C-alpha cells in the first residue's frame, strides 16, 4: 500500500489540498491505520504547538505597547519625504502630532531638553548600575502625561536633573550648562588619556563630576561581576529622584547597606567611593547580594522601561538583562534562565555592536550552554 | 475515523484594506504620526504573536515588535511603494540585528515538544508560526517570506515531521 507523505498529511491538515486530492487522501485515511494514526498525532501536535507558540495578551498590553511606541517615535522622528499636505481634518484632530513630527516645530523643541536629560540620566545611572532612574508607569510622571498626551513623560524629570539647563535653554537662558558639563567631561577624558587616571579622577571627584563615567565602564573593567542591585533605604523613599516606582516590589530581601541609590542632584564624591567600595565584595555572603535582590532590581528596571526611550531605554534594557543574569548566576533555576534569555534577547534586538552587546551575547551563551 | 484537527480559535492575521493601508502609509510618509499609529494598532498583535512564537519570551517579543515599528517609522520615507505593510514589517523584523531570524527559543527544560521547536531552523519555525499562530495560507506565507509556495509547503511539512520524530511520535521526518 502506498502511504500518504508527510507533505500530503500536512497539507490536508491545513486544508490546502485541492478538493480532489483532499477527497483521495481522506478516502485513504479511512482504510489505512498507519496514515490515520499519523494524521491523528499530527493533529494533537498541532494543538500542543498552538498552545506552546501562542501568546495573546489582553488589550491593555497593546495599549501600553502603542503608548510606548508613540513616546518613542515622538523623539525619533522619521526622515520625511516631500509630502502631500495632510488633510485639514486630520490636522484639526491631531495638531500636536503633526507639530512634534516636524523637526523645526515648537513641539519638537520642547522635546529636545528632555532628550538631553535622558542622556544625562543614562550616564549618571551608571553610578548605581542596577537602579532604574526614571519613573515607572503609574507614578506622578504618568499623571502629567495624561494631562498632556504628547508631552514626553520624562520632561518633569528633565527639569529635576538639569534644572538650569533645560529650563533656561527653552527660555533663552544665558549659559548652556549641559554643554559645559560635556566639555569638562571630554576634557577629563583627554586628561585621563594624557596624564593617567588618578589625577583626573581626583580632579573630577573634587569638582563633583566623578559620576560621569562611560556608559559601559562597569561592564568593561575587570571586576564587572560585582554589580550591585539597588537598595532603597527608608530615608530615601521620599526623595523625588531616588523614589522607587510606586508599584515596584518591596526590596524585602535586600539587606540594608550604607550604599543607597542616590539622586542625580546629590551624586557626590562619597557616593562614588561608597559605590566602589561596595563593588569590591562580589560574593553573595555579607554584601546584601542575593538572587532575590537582583530580581527586585530587575523588576524595577522592567517597570522603568515604559517611561524610557532611545539610548536610555537601551541602557535600561542592558541593566535589566544584567540583573537577571546576576540573579541566575547566584541561584540558577530554569525559570531564571528563561527570564535571562528573554531579557538578553530583548536587549540584543537592534543593539549596536560593542562591548555591551558582546557581554550580553556571552551571558546568553553561558545561560544557554548551562543546560538550564 | 478521521480526527478532528481544528486547533485554534484565535483571530488570524487580517490585512487592512489595501487602499486604506496605502492611504495611511502615504500620510505617515508626510510625517503623520496618528496615521502611522493606526497602522501599528492594526498590526501590533500579529507581529507580537509571531515574535513570541519565535522566541517564546514575552519580553523579547515586545522589544522586537517595538524595534520593528520604530525602524519602519524612522525609514518610512524609504517604504517600497505598493508593498503591503505587514510584508515590509516582517522584512524589517527578519533583518534586525538580534531579531527573529537569529532568535532561538528560550530554554525549556525537559519538554520534548519545546525542544523540538528549538531544534527547527528559524525560517522553518517562522513558516510554521505563520501557519499555526496566524493561520496564514501557504501562498501568503510564501509572499511574506519571499519563497516559492512549494518550498513553504515542504518546510512546514518537514518541520511537523521532525517534531513528531523529536517527540517520539514518529520514527523519522519523512514517512
Q: Provide DSSP, A266-309.
A: T--HHHHHHHHHHHT--SSSSSS--HHHHHHHHHHHHHHGGG--
Low-confidence ranges of chain A (pLDDT < 70): 77-178, 188-189, 191-288, 306, 309, 372
Q: Which long-range contacts (CB under 8 A, 24 or more apart) does B120-126 make?
A: B120/B159, B120/B162, B120/B163, B122/B54, B123/B155, B124/B155, B124/B156, B124/B158, B124/B159, B125/B53, B125/B54, B125/B159, B126/B50, B126/B54, B126/B94, B126/B100, B126/B101
Distances (CA, A) of B122 to A312, A366, B137: 30, 21, 19
The pLDDT of residue A192 is 57
| CA A9 – CA A38 distance, rounded (Å) | 8
The pLDDT of residue A37 is 93
From chain A residues 83-112, the ones with a CB under 8 A of any chain B CB are 83-86, 90, 93-94, 97-98, 100-102
- For the cut 70, the answer to whether the pLDDT of residue B74 exceeds it is yes
Distance from CA of B58 to the nearest CA of A (A): 7
Give chain A's length. 372
Q: Report yes or no: A69 and A61 within 8 Å, Cβ to Cβ.
A: no
In this complex, the residue of B55, B133, B169 whose CB is nearest that of residue A41 is B169
The pLDDT of residue B124 is 87
**Cβ-defined contact of B106 to A69 (cutoff 8 Å):** no
- Sorted by sequence, the CB contacts under 8 Å of residue A45 that are 6+ apart come out as B113, B160, B163, B164, B167, B169
Mean pLDDT for B4-9 is: 41
The pLDDT of residue A15 is 93
Interface test with B, best of A37, A44, A49 (most B CBs within 10 A): A49
Q: Report yes or no: A342 and B61 within 8 Å, Cβ to Cβ.
A: no
Nearest CA-CA partner of B13 in B132, B99, B157, B159 = B132
- For the cut 50, the answer to whether the pLDDT of residue B71 exceeds it is yes
Percent of chain B with pLDDT over 70: 81
Residue A180 cell numbers, joined: 559645559
Distance from CA of A67 to the nearest CA of B (A): 9
Nearest CA-CA partner of A215 in A343, A323, A316 = A316
| CA A8 – CA A131 distance, rounded (Å) | 55
Q: Give the number of other CB atoms < 10 A from CB of residue A48.
A: 17
- Sorted by sequence, the CB contacts under 8 Å of residue A238 that are 6+ apart come out as none
**Cβ-defined contact of A55 to B167 (cutoff 8 Å):** no
**Cβ-defined contact of B77 to A80 (cutoff 8 Å):** yes
Distance from CA of A327 to the nearest CA of B (A): 17
**Cβ-defined contact of B96 to A350 (cutoff 8 Å):** yes
The pLDDT of residue A356 is 83
In this complex, the residue of A50, A68, A345 whose CB is nearest that of residue B7 is A50
The pLDDT of residue B106 is 52
The pLDDT of residue B130 is 92
Contact list in B for residue A98 (CB cut-off 8 A) is 31-33
Distances (CA, A) of A78 to B33, B47, B72: 9, 21, 9
**Each residue's pLDDT tens digit, B79-133:** 888 889 999 998 888 887 765 555 555 555 667 888 888 888 888 888 999 999 8
Q: Which residue of A has its CA nearest to B132?
A: A50
**Cβ-defined contact of A53 to B56 (cutoff 8 Å):** yes
First to last CA, chain B: 20
**Cβ-defined contact of A73 to B55 (cutoff 8 Å):** no
Interface test with B, best of A10, A315, A339 (most B CBs within 10 A): A10
| CA B86 – CA B71 distance, rounded (Å) | 13
A2 in B contact zone (CB under 8 Å): no
What does DSSP assign to residue A346? H
| CA A233 – CA A262 distance, rounded (Å) | 10
ipTM of the complex as predicted: 0.81
The pLDDT of residue A20 is 94
* Residue the block writes with cell 517570506: B145
The pLDDT of residue A39 is 94
Amino acid at each position: 500500500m502506498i502511504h500518504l507523505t508527510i507533505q500530503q498529511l500536512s497539507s490536508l491538515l491545513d486544508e490546502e489540498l485541492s478538493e480532489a486530492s483532499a477527497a483521495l487522501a481522506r478516502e485513504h485515511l479511512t482504510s489505512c491505520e498507519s496514515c490515520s494514526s499519523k494524521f491523528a498525532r499530527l493533529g494533537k501536535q498541532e494543538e500542543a504547538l498552538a498552545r506552546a507558540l501562542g501568546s495573546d495578551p489582553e488589550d491593555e498590553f497593546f495599549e501600553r505597547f502603542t503608548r510606548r511606541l508613540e513616546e518613542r517615535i515622538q523623539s525619533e522622528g522619521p526622515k520625511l519625504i516631500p509630502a502631500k499636505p495632510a488633510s485639514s481634518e486630520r490636522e484639526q484632530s491631531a495638531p500636536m502630532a503633526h507639530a512634534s513630527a516636524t523637526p523645526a516645530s515648537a513641539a519638537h523643541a520642547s522635546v529636545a531638553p528632555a532628550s538631553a536629560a535622558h542622556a544625562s540620566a543614562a550616564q549618571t545611572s551608571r553610578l548605581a548600575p542596577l537602579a532604574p532612574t526614571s519613573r515607572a508607569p503609574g507614578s506622578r510622571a504618568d499623571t502629567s502625561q495624561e494631562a498632556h498626551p504628547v508631552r514626553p513623560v520624562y520632561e518633569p524629570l528633565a527639569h529635576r536633573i538639569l534644572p538650569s539647563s533645560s529650563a533656561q535653554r527653552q527660555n533663552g537662558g544665558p549659559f548652556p550648562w549641559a554643554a559645559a558639563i560635556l566639555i569638562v567631561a571630554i576634557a577629563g577624558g583627554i586628561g585621563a588619556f594624557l596624564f593617567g587616571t588618578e589625577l583626573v579622577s581626583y580632579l573630577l571627584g573634587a569638582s563633583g563630576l566623578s559620576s560621569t563615567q562611560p556608559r559601559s565602564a562597569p561592564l568593561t573593567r575587570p571586576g564587572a561581576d560585582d554589580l550591585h542591585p539597588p537598595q532603597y533605604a527608608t530615608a530615601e523613599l521620599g526623595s523625588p529622584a531616588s523614589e522607587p516606582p510606586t508599584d515596584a516590589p518591596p526590596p524585602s530581601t535586600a539587606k540594608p547597606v550604607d550604599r543607597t541609590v542616590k539622586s542625580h542632584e546629590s551624586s557626590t564624591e562619597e557616593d562614588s567611593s561608597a559605590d566602589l567600595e561596595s563593588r569590591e565584595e562580589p560574593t553573595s555572603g555579607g554584601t546584601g547580594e542575593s538572587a532575590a535582590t537582583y530580581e527586585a532590581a530587575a523588576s524595577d528596571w522592567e517597570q522603568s522601561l515604559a517611561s524610557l526611550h532611545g539610548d536610555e531605554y537601551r541602557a535600561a534594557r542592558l541593566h535589566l538583562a544584567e540583573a537577571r543574569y546576576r540573579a541566575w548566576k547566584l541561584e540558577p533555576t530554569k525559570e531564571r534562565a528563561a527570564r535571562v534569555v528573554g531579557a538578553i534577547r530583548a536587549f540584543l534586538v537592534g543593539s549596536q555592536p560593542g562591548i555591551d552587546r558582546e557581554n550580553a551575547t556571552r551571558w546568553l551563551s553561558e545561560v544557554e550552554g548551562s543546560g538550564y | 475515523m478521521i480526527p478532528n484537527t481544528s486547533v485554534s480559535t484565535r483571530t488570524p492575521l487580517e490585512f487592512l484594506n489595501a487602499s486604506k493601508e496605502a492611504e495611511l502609509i502615504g500620510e505617515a510618509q508626510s510625517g503623520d504620526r496618528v496615521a502611522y499609529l493606526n497602522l501599528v494598532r492594526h498590526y501590533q498583535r500579529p507581529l507580537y504573536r509571531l515574535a513570541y512564537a519565535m522566541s517564546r519570551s514575552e519580553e523579547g517579543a515586545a522589544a522586537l515588535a517595538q524595534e520593528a515599528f520604530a525602524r519602519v517609522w524612522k525609514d518610512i520615507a524609504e517604504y517600497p511603494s505598493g508593498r503591503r505593510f505587514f510584508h515590509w514589517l516582517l522584512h524589517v523584523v527578519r533583518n534586525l540585528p538580534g531579531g527573529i531570524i537569529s532568535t532561538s527559543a528560550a530554554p525549556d527544560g525537559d519538554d520534548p515538544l519545546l525542544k523540538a521547536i528549538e531544534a527547527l531552523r528559524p525560517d522553518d519555525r517562522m513558516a510554521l508560526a505563520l501557519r499555526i499562530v496566524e493561520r496564514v495560507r501557504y501562498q501568503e506565507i510564501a509572499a511574506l517570506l519571499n519563497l516559492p509556495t512549494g518550498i513553504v509547503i515542504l518546510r512546514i511539512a518537514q518541520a511537523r515531521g521532525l517534531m513528531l520524530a523529536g517527540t517520539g511520535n514518529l520514527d523519522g521526518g519523512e514517512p
